Amino acid sequence: MESTDITEASIKAAIEERLKAVHVEVTDMSGGCGQSFTTLIVSPEFAGKNSLRRHRLVNAALKDEIARIHAWSAKCQTPDEWQRDKAAAGAGGSTEGPPMDGTVDGKVDGVKQ
């Protein structure tokens, strides 16, 4: 498999199969060349594991794919964590965008604009 064969769909299928994921979002951030992906992976396999162990599990499962791309990021959640975040985001259920921890209305408190 060449890097041009790596697509959002192929990564999603690999994650679902290898990590028993119940929900996967894959976004090609490279403009279509298949070199940079960001993902949200929801799997019961992450239960009881800290962030580092979750990422090691993902990296091991996708070792061949990750070796062929330029950049990779993964947000790893258990189904309970994902449901909690969806509920906190409101009826739309969107958790997209950067984390806003430490901000006030999306702005860093104490910083002049």
Could you tell me the residue range of the domain that residue 30 belongs to?
3-92
**For 3-14, how does the pLDDT look when each residue is reduced to its tens digit (9 = 90+)?**
457 888 999 999
**71 domain residue, yes or no:** yes
- For the chain, list residues with pLDDT below 70: 1-4, 32-34, 91-113
Q: Does the residue 18 lie in any domain? A: yes
By the 8 A CB rule, do 22 and 46 touch?
no
The two three-digit tokens of residue 97, written as one number: 């965008």
User: Is 111 within a domain?
Assistant: no
Euclidean distance between CA atoms 92 and 105, whole angstroms: 18
- Answer yes or no: is 112 within a domain: no
Q: What is the biggest distance separating any 2 CA atoms in the chain, rounded to whole angstroms?
A: 50
Q: Does residue 107 lie within any of the structural domains?
A: no
Which one, of 13, 6, 55, lies nearest residue 28 by Cα? 6
Q: What is the total count of domains within the chain?
A: 1
43 found inside a domain? yes
* Phi then psi dihedrals of residue 59, to 5 deg: -60, -35
Pairing of strands 36-42, 107-108: unpaired
Average pLDDT over the chain, rounded to an integer: 82
* CATH code, domain carrying 47: 3.30.300.90
Asked if residue 113 belongs to a domain, the reply is no
